[in-house]
Amino acid sequence: MRTFLAVVAGYLIFAGSAVFLYHVTNVDPHSPAALGFKAFTMAYGLAFAFLSGFVAGHIARRTDLVCGIALALVIALGATISMLARPGAGALWTQSAALLLFAPASLAGDWTGRKKRATAG
């Protein structure tokens, strides 16, 4: 149960940060955007994806990568569903970033935390 809640918490951190960003900037994530905004979004998303994986692993207190893998799969699944739900409509840059960058970054966050947990325990 702790692992499940940790993955949910990690996803809420990741998804909540994205909702916040697009709300504050008033940008539709499924529309074309300026290159500068895309670059900022990539850095922002990478940071929060990494943080979400780190926090999920910390909450679960696991020394394996189960939380990071599960969180990466949830992020990738969300991006894939979003892509399939909008075939041919709108830009896919946010979903592509989630699949190629943010999902692996969440796993890297858990991996970094795992290294710390393994040496501390």
Q: What is the tens place of the pLDDT at every residue in 71-98? A: 999 999 999 998 888 766 678 899 999 9
- At residue 20, the pLDDT reads 98
- At residue 25, the pLDDT reads 96
Joined tokens for residue 114 = 């795992």
User: How many domains does the chain contain in total?
Assistant: 1
Place 67 in a pLDDT band, splitting at 50, 70 and 90. Answer: very high
CB-CB neighbours of 111 under 10 Å: 16
Q: How far apart are CA 55 and CA 10, in angstroms?
A: 6
- At residue 89, the pLDDT reads 67
* Helix 103-120 vs helix 35-60: crossing angle, to nearest 10: 30
DSSP label of 87: T
- Residues of the domain holding 26: 2-120
